Amino acid sequence: MNAEGWWIWVLVGLGLAMLEVAVPGFVFLGFAIGGIATGILLLLIGHILEESPATIPLVFAAFSLLSWVVLTRFFRRGRKGPRIWKKDINED
């Protein structure tokens, strides 16, 4: 895959983001962010990344893993179990 295919990475990322709406869990959202970030990086500095054939998938994997870690840490911060409500919102 060459640097002219940046738009393919962006479209795949957008497709995975739409799939995340149907399937919860931040798995597809991490891959979607990785795909979009790879596409943008290819658009900006694609001529540098296409020197080695394995560079572009490696960049995609790194962006996907990094975004998944950030998403899980951000959305699951401080939860040790289900939230227990002590007071009903209808009570005064």
- 60's tokens: 């995609």
Segment 48-58 mean pLDDT: 83
In this prediction the pTM is 0.76
- 57's tokens: 């998938």
Query: Could you tell me the pLDDT band of residue 6, with boundaries at 50, 70 and 90?
Result: confident
- 38's tokens: 């790879």
Residue with the bigger pLDDT between 2 and 68: it is: 68
In whole angstroms, how far apart are CA 89 and each of 12, 66, 79, 86, 92?
43, 38, 21, 10, 8
Query: Could you tell me the pLDDT band of residue 87, with boundaries at 50, 70 and 90?
Result: confident
In angstroms, the CA 71 to CA 88 distance is 30
In angstroms, the CA 68 to CA 90 distance is 37
